[in-house]
Amino acid sequence: MSIKETIHSLITDESAKHKRLIEYTTGQLSQGRSLTEVLDDPYVTNRLNPMERRALVEEPEVVAAAQAESLDELRAHLEELAGS
């Protein structure tokens, strides 16, 4: 099975464990943690192998939350520059 096929099968996993990890990840991102920090969190690493963590970042909810995080950082940076 290729990496893309493996990721696709993991993304379409409807298990409660997978859904809880999506919720945990998006919740942590909304609290200001970076995606890297969340993916390295023991709560995540104890429950997912590296391929499952890789698949987690393809979940639409995680992608949206991570993009919001990046936009918030960019906005704060630009506001800081504008205030200088």
Q: Kindly write down the DSSP assignment for every residue of 41-79, as one continuous string.
A: SHHHHTT--HHHHHHHTTSHHHHHHHHHHHHHHHHHHHH
C-alpha torsion 39→44→45→49, nearest 10: -90
Question: Please, which pLDDT band fits residue 76 given cuts at 50, 70 and 90?
Answer: confident
Helix (H, G, I), strand (E, B) or coil at 64: helix
pLDDT single digits (tens) 11-70: 666 677 888 999 999 999 999 898 889 999 999 999 998 888 888 888 999 999 988 878
Q: What is the mean pLDDT of the chain?
A: 84
Cβ–Cβ contacts within 10 Å for residue 59, how many?
Answer: 19
Total-model pTM: 0.70
